[in-house]
Amino acid sequence: MIDTHCHIDFKEFDDDREDVIKRAQEKLDYVIASGYSNDSNMDVLQLSKDYKDFIYPTFGFHPVSSQNATEEDIKIAHDNIDKYLDDIVAIGEVGMDYYYVTDKALRERQQEIFTDFLELANEYKVPIVMHVRDCEKKAVNIVPEYEDIPYFIFHCYGGSLKTAKRIMNMGNAYMSFSTMLCYSKQHQDLIEKIDLDYILTETDSPFLAMTKEERNEPANVVNAVYKIAEIKNIDVGTVDEVTTKNARHVFKI
């Protein structure tokens, strides 16, 4: 099993990060730590060096943060992707967030920065991990023009089934589902109708735990795998095998 999206560099893990990673190593094949900012990118890079062949990094800039970033901030992010291209497995998380951001000008700024990252991924021919909350349809309309991006990952997918079908028809796009599956009826209804060949698993830890009081962690991705098996009425081993194969294929690990 693979947690394809988590933030174990966050301060929520400062007191017991080693134990959290140890628990993940006991249950999972790999963990992908997703960069969130320029500092976060450097932190996940260091974690990938400390836990070589288990933790793999992606470099990104969260859209809600990017909208207020300076041109210099974005340039640093681009420069670090260029500098550490051989060390990362994807660009992301990057994208647009229409759930938290309703201001038209800020949304336009998010899209502008997202487009810059898409162009970078297209130039370098690397996968891109996308945070496109409440604008999944818009993202599907944007990304096909970037023909040299090998894979598009819709992180923590929560769009419509109609949009999900369009994503599956793209042929080189995947939807990642988190531990939210264990309690979200919307996500359960989606996963029932989405082909396993287009599914990745994640936790987005420390977020999306079973309760608001809990802290999520990578080992909990097991819960998502079991829930997919339950909803689809198939063997857990099959879900594990296919989703792990998908992740290894996309991220080349």
SS3 for 153-189 is: EECCCCCCHHHHHHHHHHCCEEEEECHHHHCCHHHHH
User: Which residues neighbour 175 within 8 Å (Cβ) at sequence distance 6 or greater?
Assistant: 153, 154, 157, 164, 167, 194, 198, 199, 200
* pLDDT < 50: residue spans in the chain: none
Q: Give me the pLDDT at residue 204, please.
A: 97
The pLDDT value given to residue 67: 84
Q: What was the pLDDT predicted at 211?
A: 78
What 3-state DSSP class applies to 220? helix
Do residues 159 and 139 touch, judged by C-beta distance below 8 A? Answer: no
Peptide bond into 241 cis (omega under 30): no
In whole angstroms, give the CA distance from residue 229 to residue 64.
33
Q: Which residues contact 127 (CB under 8 A, 6 or more apart)?
A: 89, 90, 91, 92, 121, 149, 150, 151, 152, 153, 250, 251
Compute the distance between CA of residue 150 and CA of residue 91 in angstroms, rounded to an integer. Answer: 12
Angle made by CA atoms 212, 218, 221, in degrees to the nearest 5 = 85
Q: What span, in angstroms and rounded, lies between the C-alpha atoms of 65 and 94?
A: 10
Beta bridge partners of 130: 94, 154
Nearest Cα to Cα of residue 152 among 114, 190, 184, 108:
114
The whole-number pLDDT of residue 68 equals 85
Residue 32 confidence (pLDDT): 98
pLDDT of residue 47: 98
